[in-house]
Structure 1
Amino acid sequence: MPRRGDTRSRVWIPIISATVALLTALSGCGALEGSSNNPGDGGSGSGGPIEKPNLKVGLLPVVDVAPLYQAVEKGYFKEQGLNVEPIVVASGPKAVESVISGEIDIAFTSYPGAFVAQSKGVADLKIVADAYAARPGHLALVATPDSQIKKPSDVAGKKIAVTSKGSISDLGVMSVLSSQQVDIRSINFVPMPFQDMGPAMQNKNIDGAVVAEPWVTRTAKEQGAVTIVDVSSGPTQNISMSGWAALNKMTSANPNTFAAFQRGLAKGVADVKKDRTALEPILVKHVKIDPATAPLVTIADYPERADAIRLQRVADLMQEFAVIGQRLDVSKMLLEPANTK
């Protein structure tokens, strides 16, 4: 007859074996999850293989795009299994056109450019990530000291340069001036690249210009320009300025790729938000701000995530000034944010 100790052994051996097997399985899962550095496996924190490891990103040389350059230079995209190629384009609307044509995969653009294309059915776009939100001093209508414009009411009937019509530049100015009972219908908005605005004011070809940093600081330094209207004030305070957009069909076909892009970009955002010394070399190298001016540039906000309520303010402003014909529900355009942890 078996001893009592033998009975316990026969009972516990299967239980111990099952426990060891379970722990081994769990250990194997933990070793695999989020630890791969192989780009084919999608990099750190990946939800699966990267479908499209090479991405072309169209952008402008403005302070908004600093986090992307930081992510490229620090290897944050490579950690995610991506090769991101920044390509400088002429304007935000041009970037959107290039996304639609397939020349680039992701476009940096001020939000009106993306929202117009979406509203008119020209493209089905997703906002992959937010880029920049306004703070006082970032976007301003400026004029030289010898201009006829001395105060906001003087802007009526004047010739004002903007990067493009129907952009955040003219929409923001119209919104602020309307709240001050200025006749905005009399303003002659003239499309012009940022770099041409300072000389055009100096040569009296325009009366004033709506410029974003670093051009607020640069026109002040080079042409003595002063701020007449802070475009991030009153009804446009803290409004969203720009973001990263891609075709819906592209994001749907490559979900792991765009999640990886979001994770890499988020690390770049974290760097420039917490450390001005990380930001300024990017401004000098890629935004072409001279080293003496870089510390003077006003920096607004690099949002960690796109906020549907804040972005909706842009679309509603566009409807108010008849840039789009009907209300656009921006929340449907936002790409689900990746887990950045």
Structure 2
Amino acid sequence: MPRRGDIRSRVWIPIMATTVALLTAIGGCGALDGSSNNPSGGGSGTTGPIEKPKLRVGLLPVVDVAPLYQAVEKGYFREQGLDVEPVVVASGPKAVESVISGEIDIAFTSYPGAFVAQSKGVANLKIVADAYAARPGHLALVAITSPTAKIKKPEDVAEKKIAVTSKGSISDLGVMSVLSAQNIPVDKIQWVPMPFQDMGPAMKSGNIDGAVVAEPWRTRTAKEFGAMTIVDVSSGPTANISMSGWAATDKLTSANPHTFAAFQRGLNKGVADVKKDRTVLEPILKTHIRIDEQTAPLVTIADYPERADAIRLQRVADLMLEFKVIGERLDVSKMLLEPTATN
């Protein structure tokens, strides 16, 4: 007849094994090592609570920002414990100003806007995530061609009035880089700051000779005004150059590491969606970028990088130095906010 201690051992050991198996199945390894999959605790792969659940993100109505809208609509940020509010701003430089002042938490901007502020010591910024990298057809200098048009080929651009959203941006820098590589003088081009939506009418009225437009405005000016591409910015020395990203102050990112790790994870899910399926992208273009149903399928889409690459971003800063937008070389690798966790 077995002793009482033997019976207790034979019963207790299976119970313990079953309990451990259940805990592992329910919570994964994190259930035993103290980490959490609860969104309010920062999401998978990080410990501690979300420090700042509400984020205001300044952006422009361009195709670059589609992954963020996808992440908002699909609840990818909510899964991470974040409430992300997109706020449309007038320009990339305005977004940078607003993030420095604290009006918004994260700014979508073309990289020159962030790099100028960093170089001049206006703010200590971090690149939270990459947004868009150039591919042929996305950003171009266009002009309305006619028998009396002032611009019909790249050589005609010298000394002409060309609209850009802001000076010292990837728009004018990219054009000058491409033209300079063809030995076309660029020092007397008259750059005219102007919102994208005003460029087509201004070309038609003759107030400007050409404009540097990003999608969807490249397709729109072609469709509505007959504008033709004169210079593709993603060519020659600027082929595949980084265009835009998401920036925040170092002070904010340092104080809220779990928040920004969660933002990166949520945004990456949006990037994965729009990269793999154009049928996911086009409804976002129609709803949030206000592209009409006929134009949306025609819009050229460049690349949505999965992470910021220091070498590719350095090309932008070096281009700014070449054209004296900044006074000394800026090491952009120090600005990158490295992902702290992944799903």
Structure 2 letter corresponding to 1:91: S
Higher alpha-carbon deviation: 263-272 or 143-152: 143-152
* Counterpart residue number, 1:220: 222
Q: Could you report, residue by residue, the CA deviation over 1:248-282 in whole angstroms, capped at 9, with x for unpaired residues?
A: 01000000000000000000000000000000000
1:206 has 2:194 as partner = no
Superposed counterparts of 1:200-279, under 5 Å: 200-279=202-281
CA contact (8 A) 1:260 1:338 kept: no
Q: Could you report, residue by residue, the CA deviation over 1:299-337 in whole angstroms, capped at 9, with x for unpaired residues?
A: 000000000000000000000000000000000000011
Match of 2:321 among 319, 322, 337: 319
* Counterpart residue number, 2:94: 94
In structure 2, distance between residues paired with 1:288 and 1:260: 28
1:334 has 2:333 as partner = no
Offset of residue 48 of structure 1:
2.2
* Counterpart residue number, 2:68: 68
In structure 1, distance between residues paired with 2:143 and 2:259: 44
1:296 has 2:298 as partner = yes
In structure 1, distance between residues paired with 2:30 and 2:170: 48
1:123 has 2:123 as partner = yes
* Counterpart residue number, 1:190: 192
In structure 1, distance between residues paired with 2:109 and 2:250: 16
Q: Could you report, residue by residue, the CA deviation over 1:77-100 in whole angstroms, capped at 9, with x for unpaired residues?
A: 000000000000000000000000
Q: Could you report, residue by residue, the CA deviation over 1:200-248 in whole angstroms, capped at 9, with x for unpaired residues?
A: 0000000000000001100000000000000000000000000000000
In structure 1, distance between residues paired with 2:107 and 2:338: 17
CA contact (8 A) 1:77 1:265 kept: yes
Tell me, what secondary structure is at the counterpart of 1:184?
coil
The count of corresponding residues between Structure 1 and Structure 2 is 334
Superposed counterparts of 1:134-213, under 5 Å: 134-146=134-146, 147-213=149-215
In structure 2, distance between residues paired with 1:116 and 1:22: 58
CA contact (8 A) 1:143 1:228 kept: yes
Instruction: Normalising by structure 2, report the TM-score.
Output: 0.92
Tell me, what secondary structure is at the counterpart of 1:114?
helix
Structure 1 letter corresponding to 2:276: K
What's the C-alpha RMSD, in Å, of the aligned pairs? 2.4
Structure 1 letter corresponding to 2:134: A
In structure 2, distance between residues paired with 1:22 and 1:330: 50
In structure 1, distance between residues paired with 2:293 and 2:48: 42
Offset of residue 44 of structure 1:
4.2
In structure 1, distance between residues paired with 2:115 and 2:203: 30
CA contact (8 A) 2:40 2:80 kept: no
Higher alpha-carbon deviation: 198-207 or 46-55: 46-55
CA contact (8 A) 1:266 1:340 kept: no
Percent of aligned positions that are identical: 77
Instruction: Normalising by structure 1, report the TM-score.
Output: 0.92
Offset of residue 35 of structure 1:
2.9
Tell me, what secondary structure is at the counterpart of 2:29?
helix
In structure 1, distance between residues paired with 2:159 and 2:283: 41
Offset of residue 40 of structure 1:
2.8
In structure 2, distance between residues paired with 1:95 and 1:200: 25
Tell me, what secondary structure is at the counterpart of 2:313?
helix
Tell me, what secondary structure is at the counterpart of 1:205?
coil
CA contact (8 A) 1:132 1:242 kept: yes
In structure 2, distance between residues paired with 1:338 and 1:281: 31
CA contact (8 A) 1:130 1:304 kept: yes
CA contact (8 A) 1:46 1:80 kept: no
Offset of residue 46 of structure 1:
3.8
* Counterpart residue number, 1:30: 29
* Counterpart residue number, 1:111: 111
Tell me, what secondary structure is at the counterpart of 1:185?
coil
Q: Could you report, residue by residue, the CA deviation over 1:274-293 in whole angstroms, capped at 9, with x for unpaired residues?
A: 00000000000110100110
In structure 2, distance between residues paired with 1:25 and 1:224: 66
In structure 1, distance between residues paired with 2:110 and 2:61: 13
Offset of residue 45 of structure 1:
4.1
In structure 1, distance between residues paired with 2:127 and 2:55: 16
Structure 1 letter corresponding to 2:88: V
Structure 2 letter corresponding to 1:194: F
